[in-house]
Chains A and B, each alone.
Chain A
Amino acid sequence: MSAPAIQAVELSRRFGAFTAVDRVSFEVEQGEIFGYLGANGAGKSTTIRMLIGLLAPSGGRATVAGHDVATAPDAVKASIGYMSQKFSLYLDLPVSENLRFFGAAYGLEGKALAARTAELLERVGLTGQGEAITGELPGGLRQRLALASALLHRPPLVFLDEPTAGVDPVARRTFWSLIRELAAGGTTVFVTTHYLDEAEYCRRIGLMVDGKLVALDTPAGLKRTWVPDQVLVARGQGLARAAEALRRLPGVKAVSPFGAALHVRVDPARLDAARVAAALAAAGAVAPAVEATPASLEDVFLAAVDRGAGGVAP
């Protein structure tokens, strides 16, 4: 088995009295798409910045692409590509100039640079946009440009921090197909995201709550561990009123609003859809319709956060 692309051991970062990242340990294999989830402020971006050599760890250590982030940050930087959360290319320059600058920064020049630029523009679907001013591109195209910029020097490992934030669903899907192509080609992808549906694309997911890594597994594994109960979805009118009463029903683990519907986690040994529907009707809901639904990462997330806030452990 080849060496892991990323290896973090008890990685920590403190800012004064505040601990942003608390003894995080994990490994990412080469060629893997590794997802990193968590609420805002949970410590995802800080972790990334330590891994790419922008921020020195307060404790623990990490090895990225074979280099130690604390002692050889420059070697780390040369081996990785990075796409930051806030768009960070030059808005006033045309697309080609941005690529040319960052390419030169990584040591590309002349014909090689020109060829690579053209190749990447095509790969991300921006052919012909070379002279467009970056700031005038729509959000989705801008994100693709940022991705291209991170790939100029063919790094074995890329870090993508919320790469699809603020982008429409179609564009998001296109973007993820690019990511999957990358990984298929052997590039390791470390991605953080808010969109839990996207997280399903990852081979493994790490979940951060308040600076700690509380879960690390494949999506299916996470669901098995965190949401072992059945999840039912209830639709109808007046559900909000009925929810409170439902919570008190024995066998109900949690009731969470999901849009206009309710997600109800139940112990399958004690309750089923019909019973829950009856309970809702008795509590004043109108025409409740309850059916089983596969557990989603959203449920996992809520359960994990819940546990962090003192909720019920699985």
Chain B
Amino acid sequence: MSAATARRQLAAVFRKEVSQTVRDRRVMFLLVVAPLIQTVVFGFAVDFDVDRVDTVLVDHDGGEAGRLHARRLLADGTLRPAGRLAGVEEAQADLDGGRAAAALVLPPGFSADLAAGRPAVAQLLLDGGDPNRAAVAGAAASRYFGEVAEAEARRRLEARGRRDLPQAVLVPHVLYNPRLKTPPYIVPGIAGTLLVIVTTLVTAMGLAREREMGTLEQVMVTPIRPLWLLLGKLLPYLIVGCLDVLLLLGVGTWVFGVPLHGSPLVLGAVMLTYLTATLGIGLLISTVSQTQQQAFLGGFLFMMPSILLSGVMTPIAAMPAWLQHLTVLNPVRHFAEVMRAVLLRGAGLGDVWFQLACLATIGVGILWLAAVRFRRQLG
């Protein structure tokens, strides 16, 4: 087949796809505007920082030391005062009803014990329904009282004559996201997730739609080669996908302050390889689907685990080892990693070559597989 013929066939399919897509305003909306909206919502909604946990106070002690510590604990930001109650039963009721997530209980004699050098024990009741929140709130309380205990212990030792006690202190220095805000971490990953939803589903359903409507048969009677058909169907969405990435990056920077370090070339490379992979997967799914419904379900069944196991919402490092190895096959993971590395840390090609290589391999491999399957199906 001559190059000119190939170009002509590819161009014909490309032109037809574009014409069909552009005509349907709803599809355009969903492919371009919807991801933008979702990124904004996601960026604002997701905040891993646990703070302002509503805490009620049950003060059976009434002493000044107790009140002081309660006030300090509830002022540090992680816990937020949500009222004083008379007894533990009411506190329990509040926890049950969800009006509070924690309850600080000071037993009678707390302040007196502290002043007299006897062990003073306070209690914190936590709503374990959200274990992350409970852990963080508990840790905040433990740390506060730990500091108080240590300061008190030092004071007592010094009072007995031991002076100049050594103390080691940790000074943290956070690089790349000094205030440890969530959006810079989340938004690049979200972009990858939304792209999968848009691109994989669209190509998966595209070919299945032609099969369902009967147009595929007519196309297969023409001299158009299967490879150009697949590529021609893929290219428009590659372009839309790139457009989406740029728009999402724009939103990320403008609305959420995601930094833009790193080389645009590397960004371009990851964009293209990632989109090739996701579009290829969609095509592969469409070759094993007779109807659009099947294609959608196939795409969905692929999407859910790949989103959950991508490191976008929860870290890969937190997964069991065998699962971590499995995620090497997941293009979303590589995309999120490269985006974070380049945008936040200014990583270069040498730093992310592995992920790019994985993406390229997956993309080309899957496309090849899809083409082979497709050709085999044509009699």
Interchain CB contact under 8 A, A88 and B379: no
A91–B379 Cα distance when bound, in Å, is: 26
Interchain CB contact under 8 A, A109 and B8: yes
Interchain CB contact under 8 A, A105 and B19: no
Interchain CB contact under 8 A, A105 and B20: no
Contacts of B219 in A (CB 8 A): 105
B38 located at the interface, meaning its Cβ lies under 8 Å from any Cβ of chain A in the complex: no
Could you give, for residues 130-159 of chain B, a 1 whenever the CB lies within 8 Å of some chain A CB and a 0 otherwise?
A: 000000000000000000000000000000
- Determine, out of A15-23, A76-84, A123-131, A162-170, the stretch whose residues face the partner at the interface: A76-84
A102–B222 Cα distance when bound, in Å, is: 8
Contacts of B12 in A (CB 8 A): 101, 104-105
B224 located at the interface, meaning its Cβ lies under 8 Å from any Cβ of chain A in the complex: yes
Given A93-B19, A107-B8, A109-B8, answer yes or no on A54-B217 (Cβ-Cβ < 8 Å). Answer: yes
A100–B214 Cα distance when bound, in Å, is: 18
Interchain CB contact under 8 A, A87 and B221: no
Contacts of A56 in B (CB 8 A): 379
Interface positions, chain A 88-109, Cβ under 8 Å from B, are 88-93, 97, 100-102, 104-107, 109
B11 located at the interface, meaning its Cβ lies under 8 Å from any Cβ of chain A in the complex: yes
A74 located at the interface, meaning its Cβ lies under 8 Å from any Cβ of chain B in the complex: yes
Contacts of A84 in B (CB 8 A): 214, 217-218
B220 to chain A, nearest CB (A): 6
Interchain CB contact under 8 A, B218 and A88: yes
Interchain CB contact under 8 A, B214 and A88: yes
A216 located at the interface, meaning its Cβ lies under 8 Å from any Cβ of chain B in the complex: no
Interchain CB contact under 8 A, A54 and B24: no
Contacts of B223 in A (CB 8 A): 74, 77-78, 105-107
B9 located at the interface, meaning its Cβ lies under 8 Å from any Cβ of chain A in the complex: yes
A149–B218 Cα distance when bound, in Å, is: 10
Interchain CB contact under 8 A, B8 and A82: no
Query: At the interface, is chain A mostly helix, strand, loop or mixed?
Result: loop
Which partner residue on chain B sits nearest A152 by CB separation? B222
Which partner residue on chain A sits nearest B219 by CB separation? A105
Given A101-B15, A104-B12, answer yes or no on A89-B20 (Cβ-Cβ < 8 Å). Answer: no
Could you give, for residues 22-61 of chain A, a 1 whenever the CB lies within 8 Å of some chain B CB and a 0 otherwise?
A: 0000000000000000000000000000001111100000
B16 located at the interface, meaning its Cβ lies under 8 Å from any Cβ of chain A in the complex: yes
Interchain CB contact under 8 A, A54 and B20: no
B263 located at the interface, meaning its Cβ lies under 8 Å from any Cβ of chain A in the complex: no
Range for the number of chain A residues in contact with chain B: 20 to 34
A102–B15 Cα distance when bound, in Å, is: 11
Interchain CB contact under 8 A, A90 and B379: no
Point out which of B8, B11, B214, B215 has the most chain A C-beta atoms below 10 A from its C-beta.
B215
Interchain CB contact under 8 A, B221 and A54: yes
Which partner residue on chain B sits nearest A149 by CB separation? B218
Interchain CB contact under 8 A, A90 and B23: no
Interchain CB contact under 8 A, A89 and B23: no
A101–B18 Cα distance when bound, in Å, is: 12
A111 located at the interface, meaning its Cβ lies under 8 Å from any Cβ of chain B in the complex: no
A86–B216 Cα distance when bound, in Å, is: 12
Interchain CB contact under 8 A, A77 and B222: yes
> Which of A73, A93, A100 is in CB contact (< 8 Å) with B20?
A93
B234 to chain A, nearest CB (A): 17
A291 to chain B, nearest CB (A): 46
Contacts of B323 in A (CB 8 A): none
B25 to chain A, nearest CB (A): 12
Interchain CB contact under 8 A, A104 and B19: no
Given A92-B20, A93-B16, answer yes or no on A105-B215 (Cβ-Cβ < 8 Å). Answer: no
Given A91-B213, A101-B16, A107-B223, answer yes or no on A54-B379 (Cβ-Cβ < 8 Å). Answer: yes
A171 to chain B, nearest CB (A): 21
Contacts of A102 in B (CB 8 A): 218, 222
Which partner residue on chain A sits nearest B12 by CB separation? A104
Interface positions, chain B 7-51, Cβ under 8 Å from A, are 8-9, 11-13, 15-16, 19-20, 23-24
A80–B223 Cα distance when bound, in Å, is: 11
Contacts of B220 in A (CB 8 A): 54
Contacts of A149 in B (CB 8 A): 218
A237–B296 Cα distance when bound, in Å, is: 58
B263 to chain A, nearest CB (A): 39
B218 to chain A, nearest CB (A): 4
Which partner residue on chain B sits nearest A85 by CB separation? B214
A73–B8 Cα distance when bound, in Å, is: 21
A120–B291 Cα distance when bound, in Å, is: 33
25 sample A-B contacts, Cβ–Cβ < 8 Å, listed by A number = A52-B221, A53-B221, A54-B217, A82-B218, A86-B214, A87-B214, A88-B213, A88-B214, A88-B217, A89-B215, A90-B20, A90-B213, A90-B215, A91-B213, A97-B19, A100-B15, A101-B15, A104-B9, A104-B11, A105-B12, A105-B223, A105-B224, A106-B222, A106-B223, A109-B8
Measured CB to CB, the residues of B under 8 A from A are: 5, 8-9, 11-13, 15-16, 19-20, 23-24, 213-215, 217-224, 378-379
| In the A-B complex, the 5 residue pairs with the closest CB atoms | A104-B12, A105-B222, A88-B218, A88-B214, A101-B16
Task: With A101-B12, A104-B8 given, name 17 new contacts (CB 8 A).
Answer: A53-B221, A54-B378, A77-B223, A84-B218, A89-B215, A89-B218, A90-B16, A90-B20, A90-B213, A90-B215, A92-B24, A93-B16, A93-B23, A100-B15, A106-B223, A107-B223, A109-B8
